[in-house]
A and B are shown apart, each in its own frame.
Chain A
């Protein structure tokens, strides 16, 4: 290899290394509902169910044809690896839609006014994206009481950022009983 090419390769590797190190941990939740576009008959639903059961951490899958969704619940003490869900839907031959997740844990606000929730099982920290005024008021109140249960739309992490949730509903959470 010519010295110039070797130098370029080394420089590239040096610059890429921090980005690779900063890759976020795979997000995990204890319950998720994924929209399955195109699923419209009982016989097809079985393939979706089987593929989602292969996602890491999944204990049970419940498909709802009418709503076009599949709900997953995690094994006791485990979390569902969200990043595997879209691929599982595609392997079943359908198109994954939004993923709604449920996170239970303490919420915190940083100095810039950003809200975060830490899943009390996976210890993964999620940023709460654009909570409206009403939700923020609820978060203020619930944060003082302990754990909060947040249901929202999951957004995969971009580069080294944290995974994000667009919260839709919040309520007092309390640690969930192990299932």
Chain B
């Protein structure tokens, strides 16, 4: 995988942490209502109805180019609530519960730093700007916009002192984001594509790099092969792609050379869909990573989630 080399940090530095940023961002993407597993959709939420989604995500990052042999493990449990304000306008809230652990070899030996707690609450709204419905198929385009609020701690500390900013559960900043998602769904398959941009503001003289995401998802009905009457449960085979580009973090007005970069994930997965519930799993594999400096490369992100219609 390509990697832009920059001067290395001293052995044992705790500054590494684009990888942690990558984890935080990847695990709190605007995952929401229906078909794609790793991002949003343009499918409707009925007026006055609620959909809840509970996810379990695990990220592992290693492959450290430095002798510190850093390893990052992140467990995230984003809880997503969606409410249909009108047939076209839906409100989303995503609250992640995070557990991050970073291991590294220091001159004094192998050290571990970890933190757990709620992350930053993401609030956003999605409006179906255009839709074309036909028997058994629909095509929709829906822009969305929202704000990541600083509900997570950004001053967590351990016996070595305050944790590095990217390892904190929260960013401490109010970060707006916006994007657009398109969905083309038929009875046999579905295709979703989304583009999103997040501008991260400064907090405590630190600013995470802004982020651009391009996502695509294709779902194919594997079962039942032949539709019968009624509302049978579906099993979809899912293949998703996520292109994530992040700018460098800025600390005290200086770019962090070991942060930011581009990652492209491919995510195969499976979905079991009934009237009331969706159970799904996917694994995001980084097939291309072009990270700045000594940022840790992600090895994989595993996702398991359950959605329930109320």
Residues of A at the B interface (CB closer than 8 Å) are 35, 37-51, 62-68, 90-95, 97
Contact = CB atoms under 8 A, between A and B. Distances in A.
Contact of B45 (A40, A47, A48, A63): A47
A45 B275 contact: yes
A44 B273 CA distance: 10
Contact of A42 (B186, B228, B275): B275
B230 A63 contact: yes
Contacts of A44: 34, 43-44
Contact of B309 (A43, A62, A94): A43
Contact of B134 (A38, A45, A50, A91): A38
Given A47-B44, A50-B49, A66-B187, A93 B88 contact: yes
Contacts of A46: 275-276, 309
Given A41-B185, A62-B230, A65-B231, A92 B135 contact: no
A39 B140 CA distance: 12
10 contacts: A38-B131, A41-B35, A43-B278, A46-B275, A47-B84, A51-B47, A66-B229, A93-B47, A93-B88, A93-B128
A50 B231 contact: no
Nearest to B274: A42
Contacts of A49: 275
Interface in B33-52: 34-35, 43-49
B61 to A, nearest CB: 33
Q: Could you say which of A39, A44, A62, A64 has the most chain B C-beta atoms within 10 Å of its C-beta?
A: A44
B135 A68 contact: yes
B49 A63 contact: no
A64 B273 contact: no
Given A45-B275, A94-B133, 4 more contacts: A44-B34, A46-B275, A65-B232, A92-B47
A65 B187 contact: yes
B110 interface: no
A38 B137 contact: yes
Given A47-B44, A91-B87, A42 B231 contact: yes
B287 interface: no
| 4 A-B pairs closest in CB distance | A93-B44, A38-B133, A47-B46, A38-B138
B145 interface: no
Contact of A43 (B34, B47, B137, B232): B34
Contacts of B229: 64, 66-67
Q: Could you say which of A35, A39, A64, A93 has the most chain B C-beta atoms within 10 Å of its C-beta?
A: A93
Q: Could you say which of B128, B231, B274 has the most chain A C-beta atoms within 10 Å of its C-beta?
A: B231
B115 interface: no
Contacts of B131: 38, 95
A65 B307 CA distance: 20
Contacts of B285: none
Contacts of B137: 38, 40
Interface in B121-142: 128, 131, 133-138
Contacts of A48: 46
B87 A42 contact: no
B234 interface: yes
Nearest to A65: B231
A135 to B, nearest CB: 26
Q: Could you say which of B45, B136, B228 has the most chain A C-beta atoms within 10 Å of its C-beta?
A: B136
B185 A37 contact: no
A40 B185 contact: yes
B211 interface: no
Given A65-B231, A93-B87, A42 B273 contact: yes
